[in-house]
């Protein structure tokens, strides 16, 4: 089981991804923008994975990742996957420079979320998980 943060300004997307992850047995927290996500992360430094939108009001997803990387605690190395309609090279280059692990294009398929989480379970918890 992983503790996962889902960040998206669309309530529908957050709900759908959260429900899927909960069905897989994971613990899920949600945030509607980067500002709220920073707050959630502050209160939950044991989060292990973040699935994050880019285009959001208040603070976009890549700025959120940037803020996390600037931190001085254990949360600064959080594993990120972006889930977005964005396709531009500039965004992808920025994500890469910030150590974002992967990219899921919207509209995503449930199987893509399932695969990435299975992959991270193996990496973070080992094959016995």
- Please, what is the minimum distance in Å from the beta carbon of residue 56 to Mg ion? 5
Q: Does 48 bind Mg ion (CB under 5 A)?
A: no
Q: Are 79 and 122 in contact (CB under 8 A)?
A: no
Q: Which residue has the tokens 């992983």?
A: 2
- Please, what is the minimum distance in Å from the beta carbon of residue 13 to Mg ion? 8
Nearer to Mg ion, 56 or 120 (CB): 56
Q: Are 14 and 6 in contact (CB under 8 A)?
A: yes
DSSP H or E stretch at residue 95: helix 89-97
Site string for Mg ion, 54-73 (x = CB under 5 A): -xx-----------------
Q: Are 91 and 100 in contact (CB under 8 A)?
A: no
Q: Are 104 and 8 in contact (CB under 8 A)?
A: no
Number of residues that bind Mg ion (CB under 5 A): 4
- Please, what is the minimum distance in Å from the beta carbon of residue 53 to Mg ion? 4
Out of 38, 48, 49, 53, the only residue in the binding site for Mg ion (CB under 5 A) is 53
Q: Does 9 bind Mg ion (CB under 5 A)?
A: yes
Helix, strand, or coil (residue 6): strand
Q: Does 32 bind Mg ion (CB under 5 A)?
A: no
Rounded Cα distance between 61 and 55, Å, is 7
- Please, what is the minimum distance in Å from the beta carbon of residue 61 to Mg ion? 8
Binding site for Mg ion (CB under 5 A): 9, 53, 55-56
């Amino acid at each position: 089981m992983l503790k996962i943060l889902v960040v998206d300004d669309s309530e529908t997307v957050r709900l759908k991804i959260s429900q899927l992850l909960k069905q897989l047995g994971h613990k899920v927290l949600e945030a509607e923008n980067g500002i709220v996500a920073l707050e959630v992360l502050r209160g939950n430094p044991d989060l292990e994975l973040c699935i994050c939108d880019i285009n959001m009001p208040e603070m976009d997803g890549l700025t959120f990742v940037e803020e996390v990387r600037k931190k001085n605690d254990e949360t600064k190395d959080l594993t990120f996957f972006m889930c977005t309609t964005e396709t531009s090279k500039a965004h992808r280059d920025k994500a890469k420079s910030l150590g974002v692990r992967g990219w899921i294009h919207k509209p995503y398929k449930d199987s893509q979320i399932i695969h990435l989480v299975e992959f991270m379970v193996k990496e973070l918890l080992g094959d016995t998980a």
